[in-house]
C-alpha cells in the first residue's frame, strides 16, 4: 500500500513527484533483485542499538511512533528494527543517514529492505535532497504478505541537482502496523531498467531495438530486439554505472525469444575513464522460448588502474532473423545473507539419576546432542527443569555416569572434552524450585583420546572412560586428574575404539572393543595392567556398543549390546552367554532391583524385565517410549523404577501383583541447533538441509522465506530428487528413503524406506554420499562408504518404476568408497575415495582416488572402466556436468606424491566420450583445501550465468568456464561448505556448521 492511498493529504504532492522524476518501482517477492552496486549504508541490519536507533532518524512530517531495535526476529544476524504503528490517525517513519551522490552521474538508485509484517503495511521510499529541498519517491502499491520475510524494493532516478539520498521506511496514516525490518540496502543501477520510459533516448543506446508493449514481464513496456535481416544484429546498451576495481558485479534480466532459432546474449562491459571497454563477459541463451526466462551474468571488475564503469549490453546474432524481448534488468553487487539455523533438535542421548547436595531431592540428568550439545538437570519426580548448560562446540554426549561422590560425568563426541557436574542444593522459593551452588567443569584429555565413547563410575569418586581414535582408556579422579591406562598405549593394538566400558571392581574393568570381526570384550585390571579377552562366538559384531555390569554376588552378569543387534547376557567369569535378547533398543539396562533378581530395559515402547536366575524375560506392557536411563526410588515403603523415556515422559513403574505404569510426568529438553550435513535444491525449487548426528530435514522456500522444520528421518549424507520426491541416503546402515513432498511429513511413513544398501557381510555399508537420480529412466544411483572397520564401498542401481534393485556392485573400485556421481549421455561417472568406514585402515597399495564409468543402457563388464584423473590425489570429492558439456571434478586429499599440495585441491575436466587420463585436463592447485578430506570435500554447481561455483577449504569461488585457464575468483573467504543453487541462480551454502547462507547474485 502506498502513501498516496493512506495519507490523503499527500495525493497532490505524489502526482507532482511523479511528473518530475522518472520512476521504476520493483515491489514483488523476496527474490526480486535491485540491490544495485552497493553504497555504504550505516547500521543497515540494525545490529547496533542505543538510546535511539543509531544512523536512523525520525521524520518531522510522518510521526515518531514506536520503532526500536528488536531481537525477536531477524532476516540475518540477531536483530531487526521493530515498527509498531498503533494509530489509524498517525504515521510512522524512520529515515537512514544521508549518502552523498553525484549530480553528474547518469544512473538510477535502488533501495531494498526485508520486511516481516505481522499486520498492516510498510513501504520503502527513496528520498533525495538538494540542500533543504526534499523529494520523496514512493513505491507502487502492493498487497502485503504477512508472517514471512519479503523483499521490498524501489528504483528511481534522482531529480536534477540532488546531492544526497536516503532510504525511508514508512507505515501509512491509516495503517495499524506491526512489522520487523532488516537488511536495508541502497545502490546504483542502470537508468530505465524496466523500460517503463518508452523513449529510450538518454538511458539506452540502441540499434534495431525499441520499447514495446507486445510482451512484457512486468509493467507496461519491455525492450524489443528485432533483427530485420540475418545480416545485422540488434543491440541495446544501458547507461554506465560507476564501479570500483576488484569488485563482484552481477546482472540479470528476463528474456523472451518470440521467433528465430538463434541466440540472445547478455554482456557486462567494464570501461575506463575514456569509455574504452577493458573487459567484457558474456552469457548467451540459444533457442526459441515463447516464455520469459531468467538470464544472468557475473564477473569481477578488472583489478587495474582505470576501471571506472560497467554497462549491461544485449544483442542478437546475425545468423537468423530474430525477435526477442528483454525486461526487468538488474545490476547488483552480490549480497551474502545469513538465513540462520535451519535444523534444531532436542534428542535424549542419555540420562542418569542422582541426588542434590542435600540428598533431599532426586535429580535426573539428560545429555542432548546439538551444536552446542545440552546438559539439563530436572527434578526426577516432577520433571521440573532446574539447570541448563550449553556445552560449547560439543556435538554430542555419548557417555554419562554418576560417580560415588554424586558428581555427574559426561563423555563427549569431540574436543577431547570430559565434563564434571557437581550438583548444588535444590530449594523452593515462592513455589518455584531452583538449584544453587552447582558447577560444571571441563577437562581436556590428551591427544588421541578424541572421542569419549563411554564413562563408568568406580570407587572413591573415580571414573573410567573409553575413547577413540587411538583405542585408549583412562581413569579420572577429581583430585589427581586423568591417567591413560595401559601405559598410555592402546588397550588392544590395532583396535581404534574402546566403544563401551563397565566397572566391575577396582581390579576388573570391562571394555567393548572394535572394530573387530567378532564381538570382543576385554577384562582389564587397572592396577596391574593385565588383561584377558571375552569373545562370544557366532555374533559377527563389529562393535560392542554398550556394556552394563550387574553385580549379583557369585551370579554377576555383563549385559552387552552388540552392533549386530542382540543384547547378550554374559557370565563374566566363564564368558558363557546366558541369553540373547533381540530388539532391545533402550540405552543400557537398569541396575538390579534392590530386592529382586531382576533387570529392566525396553524394546520399542514396551518395558521388559529380565530374571537373572531364571534367564527369562517378560513383557511388562507399553510405556510409550524407549528408556534412556534408570534408577530405583523408594516412596512410602514401595520401590519404583524410574526411567527417562524418549517420548519426554518419566516412567514410574511399581512391580507387584498389580503393576503400576505411570507416565503422567513430562519433561522438556531445550532445543539446540544442529549441524547441517547435506544440502540440495529439491522439489518446488526449495532448499533442503539434513542434520548431522540426529537428523531432521528442514525446507527453506526462496520465494517466501518460509522455513519448515521436520524432525526425524535420520542423518542424510546426501540427497537427490526426481519430480516431487526427495531421496535421502541415511546413515547408519545406508538406508535409502523417499520423501513425497506433496504429502505430509511423518517420520515413520513419509519418508518411506525404499531399500537398504548392502546390509550383509562382508559388504556392510553405512554412508550413501553418492546420490544421483536420472528422471529419464526413473532410476536412482547410489554410491556408499562401508561401515566401521570396512574398506569396500558399493554402487547400486535402483529402478523407481518397478521398486526393485537392478544391481549392486560391491567394491566397484577396489577397497575404495564411492562418494560422487554424475550423469551424461547414458553413462554414470563415479568418484572414489581411498578412505573407508570409520576405523578402517586404507589398503597400502591404494593411494589415489579414481573415476569409473557405468553404462546405463547396455551391459557392463567387471571391472568397469576406471582411471586416475589426477596423480597422487586420494579423494574425488565431486563430479558434475559442466557448462561445456564435459565432466568437471575436484581432486583433493593429502597428496601421496607431493606433500606441498596437501592444502590445495585440483580442478579436472574430461571428455565424457573419452573418459581416461589422456583426455583429462588438470588445473592444479586451483582451490584451497583442508587437506584431511576423507568423504565430504569440495562441491560444485553450474550457475545460470555460465560460471561454475565451487566451495572448498571453507571458501566460495566463481570459476570462469569460458576462460582457457578456468580463472577462479574467491567470493567468500571463510567458513563455507556444501553448495546448491535455486532457479534464479542464487547460491546457498552452509557457513559455520549450522547456518544456511544465501549468496544473492
Cis peptide preceding 246, ω within 30 of 0: no
Spatial separation of the C-alpha atoms in residues 109 and 188, rounded to whole Å: 5
Spatial separation of the C-alpha atoms in residues 583 and 591, rounded to whole Å: 19
pLDDT at residue 416 in the model: 95
pLDDT at residue 783 in the model: 98
CB under 8 Å to 553, separation ≥6 — which residues? none
Average pLDDT rounded to a whole number, residues 913-920: 96
Q: Which of 268-277, 283-292, 394-403, 881-890 is the least confident region? A: 283-292
Q: Which residue has the cell 541490519?
A: 45
**Tens digits of per-residue pLDDT, 621-669?**
999 999 999 999 998 888 999 999 999 999 999 987 788 999 999 999 9
pLDDT at residue 897 in the model: 75
Q: Is 532 helix (H, G, I), strand (E, B) or coil?
A: strand
Question: Which ranges of 662-798 does DSSP label H, i.e. alpha helix?
Answer: none
pLDDT at residue 494 in the model: 87
Spatial separation of the C-alpha atoms in residues 681 and 671, rounded to whole Å: 26
Instruction: Band the pLDDT of 452: cuts 50, 70, 90.
Output: very high
**Tens digits of per-residue pLDDT, 466-489?**
999 899 999 999 999 999 999 999
pLDDT at residue 231 in the model: 53
Instruction: State the fold for domain 350-593.
Output: Methylamine Dehydrogenase; Chain H (2.130.10)
pLDDT at residue 91 in the model: 86
Relative to beta strand 851-855, strand 827-833 is: antiparallel
Question: Across the strands, what pairs with 871?
Answer: none
pLDDT at residue 857 in the model: 94
Q: Are 957 and 967 in contact (CB under 8 A)?
A: no
Relative to beta strand 99-100, strand 133-137 is: unpaired
Average pLDDT rounded to a whole number, residues 878-905: 92
Q: Which residue has the higher pLDDT, 21 or 175?
A: 175
Spatial separation of the C-alpha atoms in residues 14 and 25, rounded to whole Å: 14
pLDDT at residue 144 in the model: 76
Highest mean pLDDT pick, 194-208, 258-272, 327-341, 853-867: 853-867
**Tens digits of per-residue pLDDT, 951-994?**
999 999 999 999 999 999 999 999 999 999 998 889 999 998 99
134 vs 57, 126, 127, 164, 388, CA distance in Å?
Answer: 15, 10, 7, 10, 54
Cell of 155: 528504483
The Cα angle at residue 85 between residues 82 and 87, in degrees rounded to 5: 165
Average pLDDT rounded to a whole number, residues 122-129: 95
Average pLDDT rounded to a whole number, residues 213-236: 82
pLDDT at residue 627 in the model: 97
CATH number listed for the domain at residues 674-1000: 2.130.10.10
pLDDT at residue 320 in the model: 63
CATH number listed for the domain at residues 204-333: 2.60.120.260
pLDDT at residue 30 in the model: 33
Cβ–Cβ contacts within 10 Å for residue 273, how many?
Answer: 10
pTM of the predicted model as reported, rounded to 2 decimal places: 0.89
> Which H or E element spans position 4?
helix 3-6
pLDDT at residue 13 in the model: 28
Average pLDDT rounded to a whole number, residues 337-360: 94
Of the CATH numbers 1.20.1060.10, 2.40.50.140, 2.60.120.260, 3.40.470.10, which one belongs to the domain with range 3-189? 2.60.120.260
Q: Are 83 and 177 in contact (CB under 8 A)?
A: yes
Q: Are 758 and 764 in contact (CB under 8 A)?
A: yes
Cell of 911: 571428455
pLDDT at residue 6 in the model: 29
Q: Which residue has the cell 563415479?
A: 830
Cell of 423: 550438583
Spatial separation of the C-alpha atoms in residues 613 and 880, rounded to whole Å: 62
pLDDT at residue 1 in the model: 31
Average pLDDT rounded to a whole number, residues 278-295: 84
Q: Which residue has the higher pLDDT, 10 or 552?
A: 552
The DSSP output letter for 291 is S
Q: Are 976 and 956 in contact (CB under 8 A)?
A: yes
pLDDT at residue 1001 in the model: 79
- Asked whether the predicted pLDDT for residue 201 surpasses 50, the reply is yes
**Tens digits of per-residue pLDDT, 69-111?**
999 998 877 899 999 988 878 889 999 999 999 988 889 999 9
pLDDT at residue 261 in the model: 62
Instruction: Band the pLDDT of 232: cuts 50, 70, 90.
Output: low
Percent of the chain with pLDDT over 70: 95
Average pLDDT rounded to a whole number, residues 516-541: 91
Cβ–Cβ contacts within 10 Å for residue 660, how many?
Answer: 11
Q: Which residues make up the CATH 2.60.120.260 domain(s) of the chain? A: 3-189, 204-333
Give the CB-side neighbour count of residue 817, counting CA atoms within 13 A: 36
- Asked whether the predicted pLDDT for residue 21 surpasses 60, the reply is no
Relative to beta strand 968-981, strand 309-316 is: unpaired
Spatial separation of the C-alpha atoms in residues 71 and 48, rounded to whole Å: 11
- Asked whether the predicted pLDDT for residue 705 surpasses 60, the reply is yes
- Asked whether the predicted pLDDT for residue 937 surpasses 90, the reply is yes
Q: Which residues make up the CATH 2.130.10.10 domain(s) of the chain? A: 350-593, 674-1000
The Cα angle at residue 720 between residues 717 and 724, in degrees rounded to 5: 135
Sign of CA dihedral 614, 620, 624, 629: negative
Amino acid at each position: 500500500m502506498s502513501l498516496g492511498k493512506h495519507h490523503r493529504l499527500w495525493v497532490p504532492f505524489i502526482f507532482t513527484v511523479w511528473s518530475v522524476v522518472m520512476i521504476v518501482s520493483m515491489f514483488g517477492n523476496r527474490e526480486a533483485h535491485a540491490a544495485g552496486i552497493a553504497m555504504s549504508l550505516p547500521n543497515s541490519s540494525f545490529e547496533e542499538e542505543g538510546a535511539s536507533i543509531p544512523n536512523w532518524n525520525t521524520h518531522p512530517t510522518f510521526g515518531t511512533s514506536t520503532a526500536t531495535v528488536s531481537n525477536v526476529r531477524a532476516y540475518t544476524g540477531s536483530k531487526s528494527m521493530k515498527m509498531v504503528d498503533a494509530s489509524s490517525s498517525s504515521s510512522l517513519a524512520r529515515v537512514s543517514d544521508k549518502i552523498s551522490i553525484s549530480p553528474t552521474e547518469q544512473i538510477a538508485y535502488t533501495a531494498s529492505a526485508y520486511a516481516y509484517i505481522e499486520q498492516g503495511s510498510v513501504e520503502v521510499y527513496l528520498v533525495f535532497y538538494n540542500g533543504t529541498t526534499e523529494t520523496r519517491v514512493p513505491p507502487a502499491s502492493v498487497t502485503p504478505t504477512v508472517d514471512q520475510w519479503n523483499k521490498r524494493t524501489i528504483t528511481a532516478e534522482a531529480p536534477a541537482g540532488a546531492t544526497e539520498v536516503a532510504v525511508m521506511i514508512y507505515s501509512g496514516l491509516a495503517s495499524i502496523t506491526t512489522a520487523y525490518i532488516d537488511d536495508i540496502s541502497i545502490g546504483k543501477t542502470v537508468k530505465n531498467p524496466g523500460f517503463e520510459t518508452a523513449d529510450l533516448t538518454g538511458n539506452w543506446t540502441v540499434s534495431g531495438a525499441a520499447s514495446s508493449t507486445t510482451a512484457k514481464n512486468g509493467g507496461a513496456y519491455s525492450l524489443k530486439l528485432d533483427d530485420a535481416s540475418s545480416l545485422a544484429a540488434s543491440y541495446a546498451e544501458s547507461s554506465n554505472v560507476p564501479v570500483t576495481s576488484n569488485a563482484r558485479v552481477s546482472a540479470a534480466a528476463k528474456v523472451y525469444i518470440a521467433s528465430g532459432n538463434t541466440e540472445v546474449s547478455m554482456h557486462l562491459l567494464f570501461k575506463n575513464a575514456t569509455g574504452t571497454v577493458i573487459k567484457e563477459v558474456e552469457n548467451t541463451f540459444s533457442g526459441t522460448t515463447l516464455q520469459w526466462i531468467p538470464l544472468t551474468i557475473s564477473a569481477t571488475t578488472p583489478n587495474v588502474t582505470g576501471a571506472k564503469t560497467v554497462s549491461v549490453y544485449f544483442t542478437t546474432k546475425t545468423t537468423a532473423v530474430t525477435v526477442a524481448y528483454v525486461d526487468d534488468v538488474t545490476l547488483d553487487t552480490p549480497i551474502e545473507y545469513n538465513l540462520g539455523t535451519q535444523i534444531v533438535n532436542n534428542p535424549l542421548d542419555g540420562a542418569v539419576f542422582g541426588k542434590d547436595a542435600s540428598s533431599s531431592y532426586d535429580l535426573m540428568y539428560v545429555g542432548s546432542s546439538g551444536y552446542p550439545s545440552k546438559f539439563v538437570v530436572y527434578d526426577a519426580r516432577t520433571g521440573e527443569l532446574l539447570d541448563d548448560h550449553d556445552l560449547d562446540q560439543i556435538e554430542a554426549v555419548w557417555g554419562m555416569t554418576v560417580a560415588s561422590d554424586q558428581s555427574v560425568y559426561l563423555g563427549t563426541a569431540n574436543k577431547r572434552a570430559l565434563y564434571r557436574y557437581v550438583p548444588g542444593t535444590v530449594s523452593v522459593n515462592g513455589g518455584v524450585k531452583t538449584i544453587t551452588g552447582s558447577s560444571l567443569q571441563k577437562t581436556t584429555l590428551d591427544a588421541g583420546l578424541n572421542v569419549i565413547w563411554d564413562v563408568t563410575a568406580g570407587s572413591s569418586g573415580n571414573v573410567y572412560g573409553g575413547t577413540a581414535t587411538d583405542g585408549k582408556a583412562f581413569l579420572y579422579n577429581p583430585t589427581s586428574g586423568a591417567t591413560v591406562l595401559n601405559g598410555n598405549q592402546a588397550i588392544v593394538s590395532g583396535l581404534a575404539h574402546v566403544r563401551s566400558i563397565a566397572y566391575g571392581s577396582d581390579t576388573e574393568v570391562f571394555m567393548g572393543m572394535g572394530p573387530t570381526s567378532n564381538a570382543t570384550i576385554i577384562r582389564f585390571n587397572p592396577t596391574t595392567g593385565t588383561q584377558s579377552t571375552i569373545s562370544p562366538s557366532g555374533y559377527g559384531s563389529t562393535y560392542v556398543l554398550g556394556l552394563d555390569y550387574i553385580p549379583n554376588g557369585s551370579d554377576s552378569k555383563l549385559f552387552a549390546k552388540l552392533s549386530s543387534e542382540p543384547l547378550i547376557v554374559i557370565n563374566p567369569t566363564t564368558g558363557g552367554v546366558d541369553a540373547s535378547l533381540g530388539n532391545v533398543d533402550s540405552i543400557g539396562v537398569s541396575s538390579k532391583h534392590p530386592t529382586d533378581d531382576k533387570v529392566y530395559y525396553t524394546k520399542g515402547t514396551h518395558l521388559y524385565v529380565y530374571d537373572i536366575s531364571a534367564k527369562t524375560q517378560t513383557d511388562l506392557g507399553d510405556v510409550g517410549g524407549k528408556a534412556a536411563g534408570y534408577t530405583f526410588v523408594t516412596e512410602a515403603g514401595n520401590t519404583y523404577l524410574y526411567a527417562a523415556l524418549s517420548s519426554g515422559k518419566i516412567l514410574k513403574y511399581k512391580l507387584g501383583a498389580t503393576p503400576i505404569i505411570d507416565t503422567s510426568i513430562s519433561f522438556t529438553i531445550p532445543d539446540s541447533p544442529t549441524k547441517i550435513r547435506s544440502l540440495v535444491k529439491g522439489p518446488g525449487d526449495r532448499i533442503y538441509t539434513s542434520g548431522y548426528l540426529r537428523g531432521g530435514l528442514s525446507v527453506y522456500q526462496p520465494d517466501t522465506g518460509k522455513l519448515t522444520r521436520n524432525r526425524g528421518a535420520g542423518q542424510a549424507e546426501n540427497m537427490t530428487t526426481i519430480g516431487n520426491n526427495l531421496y535421502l541416503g541415511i546413515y547408519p546402515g545406508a538406508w535409502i528413503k523417499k520423501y513425497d513432498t506433496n504429502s505430509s511429513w511423518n517420520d515413520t511413513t513419509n519418508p518411506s524406506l525404499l531399500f537398504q544398501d548392502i546390509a550383509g557381510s562382508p559388504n556392510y555399508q553405512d554412508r550413501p554420499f553418492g546420490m544421483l537420480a536420472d528422471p529419464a529412466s526413473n532410476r536412482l544411483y547410489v554410491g556408499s562408504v562401508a561401515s566401521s572397520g570396512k574398506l569396500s564401498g558399493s554402487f547400486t542401481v535402483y529402478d523407481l518404476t518397478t521398486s526393485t534393485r537392478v544391481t549392486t556392485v560391491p567394491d566397484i573400485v577396489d577397497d575404495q568408497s564411492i562418494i560422487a556421481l554424475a550423469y551424461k549421455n547414458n553413462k554414470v561417472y563415479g568418484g572414489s575415495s581411498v578412505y573407508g568406514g570409520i576405523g578402517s585402515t586404507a589398503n597400502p597399495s591404494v593411494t589415489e582416488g579414481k573415476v569409473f564409468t557405468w553404462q546405463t543402457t547396455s551391459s557392463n563388464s567387471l571391472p568397469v572402466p576406471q582411471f586416475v584423473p589426477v596423480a597422487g590425489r586420494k579423494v574425488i570429492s565431486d563430479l558434475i556436468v559442466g557448462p561445456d558439456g564435459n565432466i568437471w571434478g575436484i581432486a583433493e586429499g593429502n597428496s601421496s606424491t607431493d606433500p606441498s599440495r596437501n592444502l590445495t585441491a585440483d580442478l579436472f575436466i574430461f571428455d565424457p566420450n573419452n573418459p581416461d587420463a589422456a583426455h583429462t585436463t588438470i588445473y592444479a592447485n586451483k582451490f584451497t583445501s583442508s587437506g584431511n578430506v576423507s568423504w565430504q570435500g569440495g562441491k560444485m554447481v553450474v550457475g545460470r550465468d555460465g560460471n561454475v561455483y565451487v566451495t572448498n577449504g571453507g571458501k566460495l569461488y566463481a570459476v570462469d568456464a569460458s576462460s582457457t585457464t578456468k580463472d577462479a575468483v574467491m567470493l567468500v573467504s571463510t567458513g563455507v561448505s556444501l553448495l546448491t543453487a535455486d532457479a534464479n541462480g542464487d547460491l546457498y551454502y552452509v557457513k559455520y556448521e549450522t547456518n544456511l547462507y544465501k549468496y544473492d547474485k
